Every structure is written in C-alpha cells, then in structure tokens.
Amino acid sequence: MIRIKGFIDHADKLPCYVSHADLFVSAISKEERFARGWTILNEKKVNVSKKIIFYFNEVLDRCGNPEKDEKEFDASFCITGSDLKLRVNLYDEIEGLLDLKEYIEKNVPLTKNSNIVADISVMVKPYIFLLLKHLSSLNVERMYFLYTEPLTYNILTRGTMVAKDVPGYSGAKDMRKKDALIILLGFEGNRAVEVLNESNPDLTIPVNGFPSYRPEFKDRSIIENKELLSEDDILKNLRFASANDPFETKRLLEDIYFQYSRRYNLTVVPLGTKPMAFGSCLFAMEHKDCRIVYSYPKEYFLKPSKDWGKSWMYFVQF
C-alpha cells in the first residue's frame, strides 16, 4: 500500500525546499493565472533543467492569431530548445498523459532523488488525476505541486457529457457492500445531481469547500447545490474541508473511510476546487478500493477564471 505524506506552504517559499527542479510540468490557458507557477520559480531563481508544457489544441485553435499567441505562450514559459511543448487534446487525458509518460521514460533521466515541480492551476481535473498517477509511477520520492487561486470565477463548463470513472481510479467494488458517494461540492449543482442520479448510492456525503478562497465562494457552492442539499438525508451528512488545502480533504476522506469503508464502497466525486480534487486523488491512490467518478462536461470554457489570488505549494512524498 502506498503511503503519501505531504504539507502545504506558500508557493514563494518553494526555494526553502528545492533550489533545482529536474522537471517542470505546466499547461497553457487563456486564464491569467496560467504561468504564475513558472513566474514564481523564475523570480525565486529555482533552476529548471527541463520543462514539459501541455499545449492544448483547443486553446490554440480558439486563439485569434494562433501563431502569435503560441509565441506569447512560449515567451511566458521561456521555452528553449531543450523543453517540450506537448500538443495534446484537452478532452483526451489518456492520450495526453501517455504521451507525457512515454517522453519522460525516453528522454528525462530521473532518480528517486530528482525534483519534479508541476503547476496544476489551469489543468482540467482529469489531467490532474492522471498526471499524479503517472508521476507517482516514476519512482521519484518527492514532488512539488503549485496552485494559484483565481480571483473570481466565470462560467466553468457547459452540460454533462457523461459521468464515468476517472481512468485508473475505478477502485474495486465489493459487491457485498452498499455504496456511498462523497461529493466535493462545486459551483455546478446540476453536475452533482447528475452523478447522484447515475450512481444511486445508499449514502451520500456532500463536502463543502470551507474555508473558501473568498468568503462569498462558500455560500455560492451551497446555493448552487440547493437541489442536492434539499434532501434531508444528504444535508445531514454535510462536511467541510478547506478549499485550498488538499491534505485537509485527504484527511477528511480518511476519516470517512475509517467510519464507513467496512460497510460501504466509497466513491468520490471531485466537483469542488482543484486542490480538493487533488486531495481526493492522493486519497484514492492510498486507498485503491475507492473510486473517483467525474462528471465530464460537454464543454470546458477556456477562460473559467479571472486574475489570480494566492499561490500555494503542495509537497508530496510517496
């Protein structure tokens, strides 16, 4: 069984823990915060040997002037000849991450003492889940994940294409047990209801991100999920975990696991913040019997947030 330890700190403290990164992974986006992680590394003079940046085709395709914009993205990440711009599809995380894995295995010599830094701020959640799974299989002991909060949110996604297990996180359903659904609440209540309807659990535990990045966000997620929370049997189970601390989400999920796993198969639905989703991912990697179901939207809006707030560093040790 994997044991994962970790802690949270402000991103600008990164040089206290690491002065050199063997590999830096990030992604392009139309969100202003997309290169904050790289900027912090730069400002704090952390040396980086190699950068792999996901260049999402969907982002480039919607640029007014793709060539010019690509150059601007290159400049934002100070791309050099030794770096890799990985052209991938936003909606195909399996292929995108297989490309990453293949490239790292062939071209990036890593040892257990190597330092990997990844900025997950603008990656869509399925990419984050699979990125973590792949990086954890590289036999590197320590990793540093960066996350920059948005200042405000725009519309995030449109419609639900399908609710399905995140690849690699199907868990192991014990047919003798009942089913419990843990929903990390986000701003799209309809997606939570959809997953609930698709899963028909015997027990539902909603988790609200509190404290939230900003006080009004906490109320917004409650309001947006009013349909789900109108069921007394669901509302009475409401729990809280910090919106920006994945380790708190992980701890909460472990408490729930301790309380319920003997009688229930646990499924986590990460619809809340990315740090919460990241925490659920760490949890599911430790507890391989638990599964993660994600409500894949029909469309990701390419600029779901505006400006940026605080930046965090999550240290993870496998």
Partner 1 sequence: MEKKEDLNLKNPFAGFNASLMKDDDIIRYWTEPHVLFGRTALGIDLTGNSPVVLMGGRGTGKTMLLKFMSNDIQIKRYLSKHGNGSGFLEESDYIGVYHRFDGPSLASFDNRNVSEEAWETIFKHYLEVVIGQNYISMLRNLKQSGCIHLSVKTEKLLASKVFIFVDRKASPDPGECTLESLISFMQDKLDKVFEFINKSALSKKVEFTDDIIASGRLIFRLPNLIQRYIPELQGKNIIILFDEYENLILQQQKIVNTLIKHTKLPVTFRIGTRLNGFKTFETLIKGEFLMVDADYRQILFENVLTAKEEKYATLLKEIAEKRLRRVHGFRESNLTDIEELLGKVSPEDEALRVVFGKKMKREEINKFPLERYISEVKHVKKIRELLEARYLFRAKELLPRLLNPQNPLIEMVNLLLLRREYDVQEIIALFKAYVDGKKDDKYKKFRFLYEKNKLGLLFQLVSLNRPTKKLYAGFRVYCMLSSGIIRNFLELCYQSFNRAIFSDGEQLVKKRRIPLEAQTEGAMTRAERFLEVIERIPEHGTEIKSLVRSFGAIFSTWAKDPRLSEPEVTYFCVDATSLSEKARKVLNEAVKWSVLQQKAPMKGKDPGEPLRDVYALNHILAPYFGISYRLRGRYPTLSKMNLETLMFGNDAQKQRVIKKLSRKEYFEKRGTSLLEFVEKGESD
Can you give the binding site for partner 1, defined by CB under 8 A?
A: 94-95, 97-98, 101, 130, 133-134, 137, 159-165, 167-176, 190, 193-195, 197-202, 227, 231-233, 267, 288, 291, 293, 298
- Strand pairing report for 5-10 and 305-317: antiparallel
Residues 18/35/134/108 CA torsion (nearest 10 deg): -60
Q: Find the shortest distance in angstroms from Cβ 315 to partner 1.
A: 24
CB of 104 to partner 1, least distance (A): 13
**d(Cα 147, Cα 145) in Å, to the nearest integer?**
7
Judged by beta carbon, residue 84 or residue 293, the one nearer partner 1 is: 293
Q: Minimal distance in Å, beta carbon 200 to partner 1?
A: 4
Buried b / exposed e across 241-251, counting CB within 10 Å, b at 16+?
Answer: bbbbbbbbbbe
Pick between residue 165 and residue 255 the one whose CB is nearest to partner 1: 165
By beta-carbon proximity to partner 1, the closer residue of 39 and 160 is 160
CB of 188 closer than 8 Å to CB of 224: yes
Q: How far apart are CA 26 and CA 45, in angstroms?
A: 17
Distances (CA, A) of 70 to 4, 34, 63, 93, 159: 37, 14, 9, 21, 29
Concatenate the DSSP letters of all residues of 213-277 into one string. SSHHHHHHHHHHTHHHHTSHHHHTT-EEE-TT-HHHHHHHHHHHHHHHTTTEEEEEEE-S-HHHH
In angstroms, give the least distance from the CB of 269 to partner 1.
9
Q: Closest CB to partner 1 among 18 and 192?
A: 192
Query: Looking at beta carbons only, is 68 or 236 nearer to partner 1?
Result: 236
User: Of 62 and 158, which has the nearer Cβ to partner 1?
Assistant: 158
DSSP bridge partners of 148: 311
| Residue 181 · residue 269 · CB < 8 Å | yes
Nearer to partner 1, 18 or 269 (CB): 269
Rounded Cα distance between 35 and 119, Å, is 8
Q: Which residues of 187-217 are buried (b: 16+ CB within 10 A; e: fewer)?
A: bbbebbbbbbeebebebbbbbbbbebbeeeb
Shortest reach from residue 178's CB to partner 1, in Å: 10
Q: Which is nearer to partner 1, 272 or 297 (CB)?
A: 297
